[in-house]
Amino acid sequence: QQQVKQSPQSLIVQKGGISIINCAYENTAFDYFPWYQQFPGKGPALLIAIRPDVSEKKEGRFTISFNKSAKQFSLHIMDSQPGDSATYFCAAREGSTLTFGKGTMLLVSP
Amino acid sequence: NAGVMQNPRHLVRRRGQEARLRCSPMKGHSHVYWYRQLPEEGLKFMVYLQKENIIDESGMPKERFSAEFPKEGPSILRIQQVVRGDSAAYFCASSPGRVETQYFGPGTRLLVL
């Protein structure tokens, strides 16, 4: 069973637009929710992360919104740029183990 | 400060051969994690090790796969008698502590012919 469900599978956004990626989970033991960015042929790189006692975290153009009661969290990329084109993975941690969503392939068109 | 190092970056093996994947964690990190990524899939946890100890191997296939993290040297993920289904990208991550942020290496892409 898929413990972290991520959508959409792919996303095309125009330059300057807002990219929104959503994740949902069931396991209430998850205590840390990072987002990773992965370029082709590279390893995932930590982008931004949030803990469940916070509803929103912003770092530059990237914002995580967290809804604990709905067990959902999302990544917003403001003013999306072609250089943001990559695959984005949400993840959730229980203990020391990360469970990943299946990823969203983002393409920002010039 | 070098990041997580993995080698080789690409590995080709024929069915039945052994594959050895190496991971050197970031300096100061004593916790290592291995993940497998199949095409168009997210990363799946395999095993978590601390120096000389396997802490959690709940994601590791029961047969043919083993991992170690010796006192000296890199962590090794070993796959014996590889099959085509083992073809994937294998990523190593490290962290300074048990519940700290995990930093990923560039991965080893294994192709089994």
Question: Considering Cα of A81, then B9, then B34, then B81, what sign does the dihedral take?
Answer: positive
Q: B49 at the A interface (CB within 8 A)? A: no
What pLDDT sits at residue B106?
94
Q: List pLDDT tens digits, range B15-52.
A: 999 999 999 999 989 999 999 998 877 899 999 999 88
Quick check: A32 and B48 CB within 8 A? no
Quick check: B99 and A103 CB within 8 A? no
Q: A12 at the B interface (CB within 8 A)? A: no
Can you tell me the distance from the alpha carbon of A23 to that of A54, in angstroms, rounded to the nearest whole number? Answer: 16
What pLDDT sits at residue A1?
57
Closest CA relative to residue A106, chosen from A48, A36, A50: A36
Quick check: B4 and A103 CB within 8 A? no
User: What residue of B is the nearest CA neighbor of A39?
Assistant: B106
- The SS3 of residue B2 is coil
Which of B42, B105, B107 lies at the smallest CB-CB distance from A102? Answer: B42
What lies within 8 Å, CB to CB, of B72 at 6+ separation is: none
- Distance (Å) of CA B49 to CA A13, A90, B20, B54, B85: 40, 23, 16, 4, 24
What pLDDT sits at residue B40?
75
- What are the φ/ψ torsions at residue B92 (nearest 5 degrees)? -110, 145
What pLDDT sits at residue A2?
65
Residue ranges for chain A with pLDDT beneath 70? 1-2
Q: List pLDDT tens digits, range B54-110.
A: 999 999 999 999 999 998 899 999 999 999 999 999 999 999 887 778 999 999 999
Q: A43 at the B interface (CB within 8 A)? A: yes
- The SS3 of residue A11 is strand
